Amino acid sequence: MRPWLPCALGLSACVAPSALPPAAPPPVLAPANDGIWSALATSTEGRPIRCATLGHGPRRVLWVGGIHGDEREGALATAQLPAAFTAEPVALERVTLLVIEDLNPDGTLKKTRGNGRGIDLNRNFPANNFRGSSRHGDEPLSEPESRALGELVASWRPALVLVAHSWREQEFVNFDGPAQAVGARFAELSGFELRASDALDATPGSFGSWAGVTLGIPVLTIEFRRGRTSESAWERTRAATLAVIVGD
């Protein structure tokens, strides 16, 4: 069996994120359109949001390579992750890993935090603390990018979600939901400081608030140091990332 599979999750069959269905089977196969990558959804400005599915194990893990377009420090880690993961036979047997390359390709192109309409996608999830505004969106999941991730998480029910961000002059891993132990493992292996989400400024409508707190899915937010080269960011976190994905 090939170690990787293109992903297609049938997201047109919209699943309301608030109504949790039984855990879905692994993603259905679809022809790849670019190596391991295929389009999960389309951004506000029509760019593909690409994803890849790797491995075939029962443990479902989701990696999101970026949400804020001006925080691309995790881009190389995202690019390196498929090869690093597939080089581990144990990982392929234990885990099905879904990698979203970049949830916000429009923001990445413009180097802006928000999406093509200026909405901060990490404030646009239906968490209990959602606060609608011109910057957060009038309603939760008002944006195609946040809808794609929301529908994926609600239907696929990953056991762990890792999301790459960056932070000024600091690097740490933040956890939401029942993720303290896995966050501690990541911190131990990477040297990143471990923080609980409630130690940060309020983040209404964040992905972690919703998936972690509202749905109870473990979420690790990896805050690379802003401006740190991608190569060093990946080297620093490679072992920690693979360990928590596999569940060691």
- By CB under 5 A, name the binding residues for Zn ion: 68, 71, 165
DSSP assignment letter at 198: G
Q: Which is nearer to Zn ion, 2 or 168 (CB)?
A: 168
Q: How far is the CB of 221 from Zn ion (least distance, A)?
A: 8
Q: How far is the CB of 112 from Zn ion (least distance, A)?
A: 12
By Cβ distance, which residue is nearest to Zn ion?
165
Q: Which is nearer to Zn ion, 122 or 241 (CB)?
A: 122
Q: Which is nearer to Zn ion, 107 or 126 (CB)?
A: 107
Q: With contact defined as beta carbons under 8 Å apart, do 152 and 27 qualify?
A: no
Q: Which residues pair with 164 in a beta bridge?
A: 222
Q: How far is the CB of 120 from Zn ion (least distance, A)?
A: 9
Q: Which is nearer to Zn ion, 7 or 219 (CB)?
A: 219
**Distance set, CA 203 to CA 120, 124, 235, 237 (Å):** 11, 10, 29, 24
Q: With contact defined as beta carbons under 8 Å apart, do 151 and 207 qualify?
A: no
Phi then psi dihedrals of residue 25, to 5 deg? -70, 170
In degrees, rounded to 5, the angle at the alpha carbon of residue 125 between the alpha carbons of residues 121 and 127 is 145
User: How many other C-beta atoms are found inside a 10 Å radius of the C-beta of residue 230?
Assistant: 17
Q: Which is nearer to Zn ion, 7 or 143 (CB)?
A: 143
- Residue 65's nearest CA partner among 186, 166, 164, 206 is 164
Q: How far is the CB of 167 from Zn ion (least distance, A)?
A: 8
Q: How far is the CB of 140 from Zn ion (least distance, A)?
A: 18
**Rounded Cα–Cα distance for residues 69 and 140 (Å):** 19
Copy the structure tokens of residue 240. 């920690």
Q: Which is nearer to Zn ion, 37 or 207 (CB)?
A: 207
Q: Which is nearer to Zn ion, 70 or 88 (CB)?
A: 70
Copy the structure tokens of residue 169. 């002059």
Cβ neighbours of residue 127 closer than 8 Å, sequence gap 6 or more: 140, 204, 205, 206, 209, 210, 213, 214
Q: How far is the CB of 12 from Zn ion (least distance, A)?
A: 29
Copy the structure tokens of residue 7. 């992903």
Q: How far is the CB of 165 from Zn ion (least distance, A)?
A: 3
